[in-house]
Structure formats: C-alpha cells, structure tokens
Structure 1
Amino acid sequence: MGIILGGNQYGKAENRIVRFVRDTPRHEIRDINVTTALRGPFEPAYLVGDQSNVLPTDTQKNTAYAYAKTEGVESIEAYGLALARHFVRDVEPVEGARIEIEQYDWDRVSVGGVEHDHTWVRKGQEVRTAAITVDATGEHVIGGFKDLVILKSTGSEFADFLVDEFTTLEPTHDRVMATSLVAEWRFGAVPADWNTAYDTIKQAMVEQFAIVQSLALQQTLWHMGKAAIEAVPELVEVRLKAPNKHHFLYDLERFGIENNGEVFHADDRPYGLIEATVTTDDAPPAGDAWLPSAGLA
C-alpha cells in the first residue's frame, strides 16, 4: 500500500485590516478580515521540509496590508482579485490563490443631527463576505453574507408533511419564521459595480423572505435565490444555508392567560438546517471556486 500527499494549500489566516481614507475632512472606513491561501508545487515542504518554493505566510500578511493601501478597499471583491492576481502572476511558483474576506460595517455617529466626519459605531447586521480564486481554471468571485438574522411573525406555514410513528410535530398554518441566513453567490461575469450588486442581491432576498407566503422554508429559499439571479444578471449560482430559529408558543393558559400568537419561547437548538443551491442552466464550470481555506467565506 502506497501513501501519498493529497491536496494542500497554505497561507495566513484572519489578517485584521482597518483602512481609512483620509483624503478629505470626511473620512471613510473599511474594516476587513483577510485570509490568504496559496496552491502550487509545495509537496517538498511537506515531505522533506524543503522551503525553497514557500513564500512565508508572514509575507502574505504584509502583502495583504500593503494592497489595502496601494489598491484600496473600495469593494472587497476588487481588493481580493488584485491580491490573488498578484500572488499567481508575480510569485513563482504559485499556481493558484484563494482569498477569503469578511467585511464589518460601521455607521456614522450623528452629532446634532449631522453625520460626524470621523466617528462611527459598529453596525450590527450581517457580515459581508467574498472569496476569490485565481488559478489555471480562471478567475472566480464568490460574494455573500452570513449572520443575517431575519424574522417574520406570520406568513409562514408547515403542514401536510410526512408522518411516521415518531412524529409529534403538529401542522400549522400560522407560525413565526426566523433564520440566521448564510448566502453565497458566484458571478459568471464582472458586474458594473460590486457594491451595488451586493446591495441589490441582499434586497432581493430580504424582500422575498417578507412577501412569500411560505409553505416551507425550502420554498422561501428557492424564491430568494431565483430573485437574486433575476435581479443581477451576472449571477450564475446562489447557495443558501438557513438554520431554522424556532419560536414555540409559550403555554400561558395554565395561568389563565390567553396567548393568541403573542408570546413565544425562542429555542436555539436543536434546529432544522435547510440548504439550497439555485443556478442558471448555462452556468460556467466553477473550477475550484468553492474549495475553501479558512472557511470565512
């Protein structure tokens, strides 16, 4: 029986970079978490400790910070593409690069009803993500978000499901539906503006969550993915992961109090985990676009 080294990559994980733009009195902020991973003929490093082909992870870290200055972070997709292209094109013998990025947003503080030029408070909604892969198969950009907690108090049903001897769940035509949504999407072409595309995709998904009379969370995910692709033509694939954040009606009748769908117990586990992929039928091959490194995006 032979033993061989399988797939491998290496890099610097979770570089916390804060970039300010200070060209005018009104400053801008970009707060990101960047992971780099390089792929190529690095087997000697693993098998015999030969580092001659290895660009140190510390160098990768320094490059990520330098590019935050020289390239800027107008969008995490454009920044990640510039960084990945550098590693593949300029560093011998790198054959592929994976860049994963989280973006943390900030809102400006208002003073006397006027936005302050250089003070912010951390925004508490979703974390925007991007994963960029550049290798022999091409350039692949995956955008997305995670930790988008969204809830509606009605407009959700779950009935007519399969029943066996262990089924205790009662059917319902009026329930709370909530999830902490993870969405990732693959671009088949570069959109006119990365940030506008992100806002459009998120808005399309949130609107569908709100307006669809949901017979199942699965149905809602389908409508969300479909709406995103229809809203941004450059999209070719959307992947959605939705843990069902259950809300159970609390029994107040034992205290002689009526509870007409108004007081619930929020139960965080165990939870249903619903996943779906929505694609165009002519989506180009993904190559290694979905092969992760640190798993940030």
Structure 2
Amino acid sequence: MAVILGPNRYGKAEIRLVRVARDAGVHHIKDVNVGSALSGDMDDVHLSGDNSAVLPTDTQKNTTYVFARKYGVDQIEDFALLLARHYVDSQPAVHHARVEIEEYFWDRVPLPGPRAERHSFVRSGREVRTCVVHHDRDGTTTVVSGLKDLVVLNSTGSEFSGFAVDEYTTLQPTTDRVLATEVSARWRHASGASPADGSHGFGESYSEVRRCLLEAFAGTHSLSLQQTLYAMGRRVLETRDEICEVRLAMPNKHHFPVDLTPFGLDNPGEVFYAADRPYGLIEGAVLDDDAPAAHSAWE
C-alpha cells in the first residue's frame, strides 16, 4: 500500500480584533473575528519536519493586527483581500490564501447632551456578517460574502400540505402556520474586486442583498420552506448584478399550536409552543446559469 500526503493547509483561527476609529471624538467600532489559512509548496513540513516554508501562525496573527492599524478595517471583504494578497505575494511557498472574517454589530447608545452617541455602544442583536476570500498565485480571486443568525418569522401566510405520506407519517397538513427560521446565507460575487476599487461597494452590496432576502421572505406566500428559500435566492440574483450564486441554510423553527381544550379554551392560532429541536433543515443553492463554477470558494 502506498501512503501519500493529500491536500493540506494551515493557519491562525479566530483572531479577535476590535478596531476603534477615533473621528474627532466620535468613535466607530469594528468588531471582527479573522481566520487565515495558507497552502502551497509545503509538503516537506509534513514529510520531514522541514519548517523553512512555514510562515508561523503567530506571524499571521500579528499581521492582522498590524494591517488593522496601518490600513484600518472598513468593509470586511476589503480587509480580507488585503491579507490574502499579502500572504501570497510575500511568501514564495504560499500558492493559495484563504481569509475568513465574521463581523459583529454594535449600535450607539443615545444619551442627552453634547456628548450623545459619541463613544457608548450596545451589541446589536445576533446577526453576524461574514465573508470568505480565496486568492491564488495566478491572480484568481473569489469573494463570498454572507450573513448568519438572522432570525425571521411570518405569523401567517405559510402552508404545508400535499406532502408524501407513508406508514410512519403523523404530521397533518395545514393551510396556515407560523413560519420561522434562522437564515444563514452566502453569496458569491461575480468577480473579485480590488480594495482600491470603490465602485464595487461591498457595504452597499451587503445591505442590498440583506434587503432582498428579507423582502422575499416577507413577500412570499409560502407553500414550503424550500419554495421560500428559492424565492429569496432568486430575488437577490434578479436584483443584484454583482452576485452570481446564493447558498442558503434555513432550519425550520417549528411553532406548534398548544391544545387548550382540556382547559375549556379554544386556540385560534394564538398560543404556540416554540420547539428548538429536532428541526427540519432546508439547504439549497440558487445560481446564475452562466456563472462559472467555483466549488472550492465555499470551503
């Protein structure tokens, strides 16, 4: 039997970074979690322990902090591109860099008086903005933006009936149910963008894609969560030319009507038990049929 080394990469995970921009006494917060992973001509470190091609993961951590100080942190995609290109351009053994960033949102605390909304913040909900950037030595760059933990609910306008039935089926069809989910969405940009290319507008793109997802969720009379998923992805592709593929994972956060008849009460769709598990998990991709495949970009 022949034993060989397969695909491999290494890097620094979960580099916690908070960048405070002090603008004439008014502060702006960027709270991010950065991960970097490098691959390339590095077989010897695995096969013989030769570390000469290895840029230490501690150096990757330091690079993240230095770049935050030198260049600031505006759109997370732009910051990820800066890091990924740096690793490939500066290290001959690195042929591919992957940088992943999560961003956590903060809102200003409004206060009376002249110092209102200057330097006090409160964490904004659960929603997390995400991105993954891949950059190769041949210049190929892929940017996947996204969000996760976006919890949404329709209190009506959702049905589920006409499904397959076998001897183990107990679920009853319904023409009116609560539809709730926790959206994880990722979308691939049709082409990479330079950090200096202000026309690309990752911030505007994120806001508009998020708006499309929410509007499609709210505006679709749902016959299934699968139908809603497709409507959300389709709305993004039909609205935003810079996006060529959307991938969604949406757990069905079940809300079951509580039987109140033992207490002499009816329940006309007002009282529900919110079950956290088990849950249905609906996943799918919606893509522009003309877009080039980029399967590795999602890894």
TM norm. shorter chain > 0.5: yes
Shift of 1:125: 3.5
Show the 5 A alignment for 1:119-134: 119-134=120-135
**Equivalent AA in structure 1 for residue 43 of structure 2:** E
Percent of aligned pairs with the same residue? 52
State the match for 1:164 in structure 2.
166
Cα deviation, residue 85, structure 1: 0.4
Whether contact under 8 Å (1:137, 1:287) holds in the other structure is no
Structure 1 residue 92: Cα displacement: 1.9
What SS class does the counterpart of residue 243 from structure 1 fall into?
strand
Task: Please name the residue that 1:71 is paired with.
Answer: 71
3-state SS of 2:120 partner: strand
2:239 aligned residue (231, 235, 239): 231
Match of residue 90 from structure 1: 90
Q: Which runs of 4+ in 1 moved over 4 A?
A: none
> In structure 2, how many angstroms separate the alpha carbons of the residues matched to 1:183 and 1:113?
40
Partner residue of 1:195?
203
Partner residue in 2 for 1:18: 18
Using the TM superposition, give the Cα deviation of residue 53 of structure 1 relative to its aligned residue in structure 2, in angstroms.
0.4
Which of 249, 253, 259 is 2:257 aligned to?
Answer: 249
Q: Distance in 2 between matches of 1:187 and 1:128?
A: 15
CA distance in 1, matches of 2:97, 2:89: 10
* Paired position in structure 2 for 1:295: none
SS of the residue corresponding to residue 88 of structure 1 reads helix
**Structure 1, residues 211-245: CA drift from partner, whole Å, max 9, x if none?**
10000000001110011112210100000000110
* Matched letter for residue 125 of structure 1: R
Query: What SS does the aligned partner of 1:84 have?
Result: helix
The reply to whether residue 174 of structure 1 matches residue 176 of structure 2 is: yes
The gaps in structure 1 that reach 5 residues or longer are 292-297
TM normalised by structure 1 equals: 0.95
Amino acid paired to 2:120? T
Query: Structure 1 residues 76-85 or 132-141, which shifts more?
Result: 132-141
Q: TM-score when scaled to structure 2?
A: 0.95
* 1:148 maps to which of 138, 147, 150: 150
CA contact (8 A) 1:204 1:227 kept: yes
Which one-letter code corresponds to 2:121 in the other structure? W
Greater RCO, 1 or 2 (C-alpha within 8 Å, sep 6+): 1
CA–CA distance in 2 between the matches of 1:101 and 1:113? 36
- Size of the alignment, in residue pairs? 291
Q: Name 1:37's counterpart in structure 2.
A: 37
| DSSP 3-state at the match of 1:284 | coil
1:6-50: per-residue Cα shift (whole Å, max 9, x none)? 110000000000001113211111000000000111111111111
Structure-2 change in CA distance of 1:170 and 1:137 (3 Å)? farther
Q: How far off is 1:287 after superposition?
A: 5.7
Distance of 1:157 and 1:23 partners within structure 2:
51
Change (3 A) 1:141 1:113: farther
Residues 98 and 134, structure 1, Cα contact 8 Å, conserved in 2: yes
DSSP-derived class of the 1:117 partner:
coil
Q: Distance in 2 between matches of 1:92 and 1:82?
A: 17
Say what the alpha-carbon RMSD is for the aligned residues. Answer: 1.3
Once the 2 structures are TM-superposed, how far is the Cα of residue 113 of structure 1 from its aligned partner? 8.3
Q: Tell me if structure 2 keeps the 8 A contact 1:16–1:34.
A: yes
* 1:111 alignment partner in structure 2: 111
Instruction: Give yes or no for contact 1:71–1:82 (8 Å, CA) kept in 2.
Output: no
Which deviates the most, 133-142 or 3-12? 133-142
Structure 1 residue 137, shift from structure 2 partner: 6.6
Deviates more, 1:211-220 or 1:41-50: 41-50
Secondary structure of 1:59's counterpart equals helix
Q: Of residues 276, 285, 292 in structure 1, which corresponds to 2:284?
A: 276
**Structure 2 letter corresponding to 1:274:** I
Q: Distance in 2 between matches of 1:163 and 1:66?
A: 59
Q: Structure 1 pair 185/263, CA: closer, same or farther in 2 (3 Å)?
A: same
